[in-house]
Amino acid sequence: MKTLCIIALIAATGSVGVGVELPRSTPEAQGISSAAVLAFIDAADADIDALHGFVLVRHGHVVAEGWWAPYNAASPHMLYSLSKSFTSTAVGLAIAEGKLSLDDPVLKFFPDAAPAEPSHNLREMRVHDLLRMSTGHQTEPPRTDDQPWSKTFLAHPVPFKPGTHFLYNTSGTYMLSAIVQKVTGQTVLDYLTPRLFEPLGIENPTWELSPEGVSTGGYGLSVRTGDIARFGQLYLQKGRWQGKQLVPAAWIDAATKLQTSNGSNPNSDWDQGYGYQFWRCRHGFYRGDGAFGQYCIVMPEQDAVVAITSGVRDMQAVMNLIWDRLLPAMKDAPLAPDNVTAGKLERRLKGLSLPTPRDSGSAAEVSGKKYTFAPNDQRLEAIALTSDGDTVTLRVRIDGAERRIVFGRGQWRDGRVAWGPLPEQPVAASGAWTEDNTFTARLCFYETPYIYTIRLKFAGQQVQYDCEANVSFGPTRAPQLIGRVQ
């Protein structure tokens, strides 16, 4: 019977070279039952909305991996704050190269951006404090397009002595990125490329830039789910990769141990302490994570790594599922082969897909009709819907720009479009008449966590337009709009 190894290698497209890929194995050979992994996947589908990609590594072998279509192995995914762990790695490498130290004052690197009279606490703030989210701020310094972020950071009040007060501070991570650029002459992205990304086979990573031309540091990195898994495995191996020490083991130890206490709730994986841009977890684990469910979880005692990309509102629920389903299944010795269950798992992982709308109502007679909207905050001006067999085309005018989206009927259809705050990029779209005279469509921007659901309910000469995002930093549901036949 073909193993997960063969299936995964055949299914993956655009994968990195064999020399940097982790070897594949059946779960049982690495001490995990296929039944437990299958139960994890089933529970994720039933209780989590929704995972996008999943890679489980045990004893250096990928034992299970899958992507919920239209998400896939070859496409990058936004990491949000999981980017912080990569920025931390860049700092560790720069320290190892003698370009800076943990005890360097932050002001040392920004003489032109410093306030005229820096406060005592600001003068005492050091690289060490940036790394462990203990800058002394009570609130996070803002990041705006009209001011240099480093100058805004240094102008922000520092009421607490650095090192005494934990505050999750993405602006502090930006300063780490800016410091690396100051001392190396390269963005964090460029600096890490030959030192980390290329050795790990991380192809074509991208990182957003600040108005100053600095990698944003605390967010903005996009890589593939498999890249996250290899990054986690590098840390599990104390920085060693294929016989070479890419990152000093001492840095790995320092970055992943408790550097700052941040709470006391024994049931929360956000109250277990913080390292250098890594979170401590329950059970003695550590992780990098990002908004809406991007995870790199390292389990040293179990010799395992879990990499997940997703679009979830409850990030703790995902970790609870890992602790409840996968952790108890990790045994010290290989298990007896279970070809039947391993085959079921194999097929399940190959067939993962996000749900698509399905036809269950009658279609409205609207083909070719154009509906216009009164001025609104969404800047939606007009829509027109046409049907052609297996596809439905939506033409939209937003803020004067015409956009065309082709939806597959009961399947995903690839395209490109800009939507909401997202610039033009790859999208998979699916739609159906889910109720009488109601067309429901999903736009899955599969290089991001974002999926938009659009509902068009037609009645007489008007249409009700509703749009909702799966996740958002603000409201997920936009106000309903009413359009009328032109």
Whether 286 and 258 have beta carbons less than 8 Å apart is answered as: no
- 308 and 275 in one domain? yes
Instruction: Encode pLDDT of 37-46 as tens digits.
Output: 999 999 999 9
Residue 312: inside a domain: yes
pLDDT surpassing 80 at residue 170: yes
pLDDT surpassing 60 at residue 14: no
> Which amino acid would we find at residue 331?
K
Choose between 30 and 420: higher pLDDT: 30
Instruction: Encode pLDDT of 255-301 as tens digits.
Output: 999 999 999 999 999 999 999 999 999 999 999 999 999 999 999 99
Residue 174: inside a domain: yes
- 159 and 51 in one domain? no
Residue 318: inside a domain: yes
Residue 117: inside a domain: yes
Residue 342: inside a domain: yes
Residue 208: inside a domain: no
Average pLDDT, the chain: 95
Q: How much is the pLDDT for 329?
A: 97
Provide the pLDDT confidence category of residue 19 given band limits of 50, 70 and 90. low
Domain at 102, CATH number: 3.40.710.10
- 188 and 113 in one domain? yes
- 240 and 316 in one domain? yes
> Which amino acid would we find at residue 149?
W
Q: Percentage of the chain with pLDDT > 70? A: 96
Number of domains in the chain: 3
- 320 and 250 in one domain? yes
Q: Percentage of the chain with pLDDT > 90? A: 94
- 296 and 179 in one domain? no
Residue 160 lies in domain: 83-199
- 90 and 71 in one domain? no
Average pLDDT estimate for 219-235: 98
Instruction: Encode pLDDT of 447-468 as tens digits.
Output: 999 999 999 999 999 999 999 9
Residue 359: inside a domain: no
Choose between 2 and 71: higher pLDDT: 71
Average pLDDT estimate for 63-70: 98
- 65 and 87 in one domain? no
Q: How much is the pLDDT for 453?
A: 98
- 332 and 429 in one domain? no
pLDDT surpassing 60 at residue 242: yes
Instruction: Encode pLDDT of 412-426 as tens digits.
Output: 999 999 999 999 999
Phi/psi at 154 (nearest 5 deg)? -75, -20
Residue with tokens 């990790």: 330
Q: How much is the pLDDT for 5?
A: 38
Residue 212: inside a domain: no
